[in-house]
Structure 1
Amino acid sequence: MNPAAQTLGQLESARSLALGDGRYYPTIIPGVLPIIGPNSNASLEIRRWGADFLAETFASPAWPSDAKESCALTVLPTLKEYLTTVDDINVIKSAVQTAASVYPLVYRHIVADPHDTQNWQHMLAIKSNVLRRMDAAPPGVRICCVKFVQQVILVQTPGMIADPRRPGQNDISLALVPRDHPLIPYANLEAEASGLLDRLLDIIHGDHSDALLVTATLNGLGMLIQRRPSIANKILSSVLNFNALKLANSPLTPKTKVLIRSIERTTKALLANVMKRNPDGPLNIRIDQYLQRMQRMRLDVFDESSRKRPAPAEPTDGLDAAKRQRLGANVPSPAPSVPPLPSGPVSYRELLLLTPDPGAANLDVQQMFPDSNVLLRLIVPILQSIDEVKLGNAINVVRSRYLDLQSRATAQAAAVSTSMAMSDGIDDEEEYEPDFEPEDAEQMVNRLDSAPPDDTVAERIPDSHLAPYKLPEAPPLTAEEIQKYGDMTVQRLVGMLSAADEATPKSKTTKGGFNRLAASNFDRDSWVTILARLATRASVGLEDPEEGIKSEYNGVTKKGSFALSDRVREALHSYIMYDWRRRIDAAIIWLNEEWLNDRIQSEGVGVNGNAAMNGHGNNVPSKGHYFRSVLKLLDSILPFVEGTDKILVRFMSEIAEVNGDVLRRMKKMAEDPERIDLAVMVLQYLHLLKPPARDICVEVLTDMWHTNDRAKPSARKLLSKWRPEILEQEESNMKTESANGALEVKPA
């Protein structure tokens, strides 16, 4: 028996054992490597088997990753030898697939053991060999290289750390690498991953003649979008600029059609899966537009090629009525047969009836459609589908009938008047004066306008003594009805605001400040301004300052009040909190309008000396709405603010005024260690760009320095610039305490 065949039989037996139970892989691999390894001088068939076995082994989920990691280090010399000395395509493909499975395991081992230089050098040699083959290798090998590059990008980009205490359970990513690692520097790995991602994106924008390579790249990008949110937007933006029907510009052969359909369906599946996993993604609108545009382009490409032959330009056998519609012959249609009007009196039904069909003439629409709303919904599409020529002919027929009836009625009236004159014995036709026809409304008005003014005109007009008609007065509304209808009005306004938010794009024009017209553009900002001014200016001066109870936001709220302004404020607050990150500009518009209203009222109140002093020393009304609204909105937003939400800096900088109560919310937020930097950033920004708030910022930062130990490093940097004497006093106090403690210690 052939020794190679006998060896393959034994290897197949070992493989079958491992496939039956994955626990045998760690014991079978050390026994197989001497047979298929670099120093075995094995035949090509055995090397093919060995490469396939390794690819299957490290892709199998039947044994744990910890065992795979220890075995992965032993197969690196074999993989390196396969890629450098063997020219067989099957061996190279399986070796690259094995390298794609092994790379994350070796990477995690090197992170834990930074002194294992030999194994990492083997891995770097394998990586360099695979990357060199990526552009010039045969198509099958290039697809395997795409899989390897996907794994490298996945490993060398930052991922989420689920539990820092259990690093073995976390996803293998750049987040596991220390900044000072000697073998794998953090910056080098991140830059390499970015460059490899650009190479993958260049594949989909390049030549589409190899559709398998393009579809493999798109499938690899889908995994990167799902598991690495940090690079998802970059990948999606590149895919949305990708022309999936690029091959449609070349001659449409059957092979080209198959390639176009393959790329188009893979792209559609990728984007549809992205929208399904993240229904509220910021790019979902662009993705939906891209899919619709690609659908229209595909119909244009494939429907044009699958249409039947065009109709002849001229009819070949005359203007046959059965072929006019198909051939498009422009032949005037015969005039419809219209039944004549009956003699005698004619009703509206007989005037408008144009069909000789008795079934259609006796049709009762009220019995078919007892609900008039259904009939109204049907009339509009029916009128849109009617041929304009036929409709014009029908209108002309009805018009001619009506004129015929008018002429017939005039002739009958003239005949009646002639017969009456003859019966009275009037023979002289010149002295005969026929009865006047009744005047219509327009003739009567013209005659009255031309007549001289006279107070007795009403006596000459019959029925002019009728009393004027007046509608009955509506019953007065109760307080509950007023509140109900007011709430409905506010909800309708907020609904219009939400519709404008979705339909109107963001305006890039320059705003006009407080003196702008509220509804000049009918966009989202205009509606927000209308609601804000409705809340702040509609009821100015109508509240009773003596009634009310103290609220938690230092304001006054009427108990059982039905004030429109309070309900508008609640509606604006709910609208902003529904999506506060996108609607923070609406909050700024509203609060600035509240501040302006309080300032306007403070000018009137300050004359009598009844104004309160705020943190800046300015006069503001003691019961204003601005600070109460700011504090309420801040207390609602801060539980959802993350350490990276720098939009809070914009909010605090663009509202009109801040005081101690507002900035003490930043101190409360700094109790969360992840949000200390954001709170300090807000205070630093306000100190630099809002001079009236500098003293308050320093006071709040000093309070954080004394009460929050976690915030001391960040607060020290700013206090050393703003108030170094505070740090010096703190250090002197600490030295004094330490000296006193040393004096109190006595020798035994």
Structure 2
Amino acid sequence: MASDGLSLPDQIRQLNDARVLVLGDVKYYPSVVKSILPIVGPTSAIELRRWGAEFLAEAFATPALPNGEKETMQPFVLATLESLLENEAEDEQVLRSVIQTAASIYPLAMRWIINNSYDTVTWERMVGIKQRILRTWDQATPSVKICCIKFAQRVILAQTPSNGAESRYGGALDVSLDKVPPNHQSLDPGHLEAEGMGLLDRMLSVLHESSDALIIDATLNCLSILVRTRPPTANRIINALLNFDPLRLVRSPITPKMKVTVRSTEKTTRLLLIHLAKRDPHNPIVPRIQQHVERTMRAVVEALDETGRKRALENQQHDGLDAKRQRVVPEVVVPPLGPGPHSLADVFSLTETLGLKTFDISQVPPDLITKLAVTTLARIEPQLLIKATNAVRSRLEILASAPVPELNPNTAPLGVDDDDDDYEPDFFQAEDTEQILNKLDSSPPPTNELATMDAALGLKSFHLPQPQPLTADMALSAGNETVSRVLELVKTADELSARKIKAGFTRLAASSGVKEPWVTTLIRLATRSSAGIEETTVKGEDETTRTQSLGANIRDVLYGYIMEDFRKHIDVAVTWLCEEWYNDKMLAKAGDNFPMHYEKCALRLIDGFLPYIHPQDKVITRFLSELPELNRAILSRVKIMCRDPSVVQLALTSLLYLVMMRPPVKEIALDTVQGIWSDYEDARPMAAKYLSKYRPGFIEEATRQLEGDGAVQSTAAPIAT
């Protein structure tokens, strides 16, 4: 380590080497800290004091060093810290580092005195350091004041009761007033709590007395942890925040720096209050917090944002009267209609722009036109709307008062005669009913030409051709095609975004467009749709032909889909077999003449993927554990697995899982293990380990029987010879 014979740069270099050493391995911290204390004392050079104070702050703040090591180190450091604080002309950088070190040490020193009440010297020295820092708080520079605020926060945390949620961490926050015994010889819980609350009031007074935004922001940043971990401080802090007004920092004239300061303080306060409201959303004070946040935001915007304001009216005098600005209304220039004829669009067009007049408004969606019309009418000036309305009204009046043009006889339309206006009909006395009947009797019979014309012009009745009769084969083919399309939809479904669907036999099938509902639909088409009618027979003279069913085809499709990647589709296999088992149980209640499919489908699936099982594959264990029912036929397939010595352990582990987790099949599983022990010699060591635990008598009896069979064979061999 540095010595007095070395120059100052050499000493700094050696100290930096020591820092590199402890950063590489924290176990050197205690020895390095003890060795540098004499070098960085109050009589050392300013460079050494700065380096030493900064190093001590890093050592007690680093999370890499356990708190137990820090706690044993702090008694040796307090004397140096006290001597540095007593220097009235101490460097500001050294003072900041010393206060930060004291803030990290205070909870450790308090825990030390709680566990070692005899060491009163260490605690008295820590109390002296605390009093010195609190006296420095008011007269210090802003940067030192911020460090004092942090020290006060750590003192409040240590001297107030906690909520009990921080004890599991074992860190500095674990030190609280709850840890102090009632009869401690050096610590008085009542005095400590009163001092802590007094420091809290001193911190909160900054919000109402200080005009330095840095000090206010530093105080606000220290309050969140107090509210979260120390419930007795919550009401005081929240009330102080609700009474804090960032606009009191505004001074005239308003400068850009002042705007930034006020907005920064308002944002810090707003984020703190929102954070507190989110942590306890059911607290009755949350609505008050929200109202305060919104009100403060509006007040700051109104006080500082001048972008939406009009410029102030200049004082102008005209004939002794104050001139006022007049609101200017845009002028509406209505172009004349011009010579006719005019359409309705021409009457209502107030622009001469050809592009706007020829624009086809029917191409715009009606909902967009509605929004544009409502928005335009809401923002238009009332005087402008009145002028436009009057212009259209005057056009209509001009058109109404225009004379009607006379028709040219040479160019008049057909059927128009000049004498039409002079035509006056002759009025004759109407015929009575008797005269009309006499005329009808004397008139010749009508010809059949009109009836013939009506028959020629009348519409004939039209009939669609009869559809082709639907046979069973056609219906089956259409069903198979539909199933294939649904299966393609299942394969392309996005499994990552599929939401969880409530399990059970009563869940809704195909309630969304993802994979599982469509799979459930296919499975239920196979199991439930044709239940009880799929085994119909058609009897001939000499043979009986069984009809092919849609359910059997869907089962083939499901089997093929699962075997494409049975590890990935094992959930589909389990769902299928659960539906088959449920359907078999329902049919069994209805009668005994219905075919059962559960066992056949289960054996088919096991026989399909057992040849591809490898020793590290857990799919067989999951498959057996999730099947709704197990029997000897299914477990016999697990026994067949043991023909391959590499998967013996997997097979026996799967059976052991059934023994432990599925008591109803425990005996069947143990019988299968016994069969494996008897039939496969390579599997006997592991099978014997399981049987010795669950069936201890079997191994001895089977061993004696094997030895007896061997002796019989050895004696019978010479006789046979």
Q: TM-score normalised to the size of structure 1?
A: 0.47
Q: TM-score normalised to the size of structure 2?
A: 0.48
Larger radius of gyration: 2
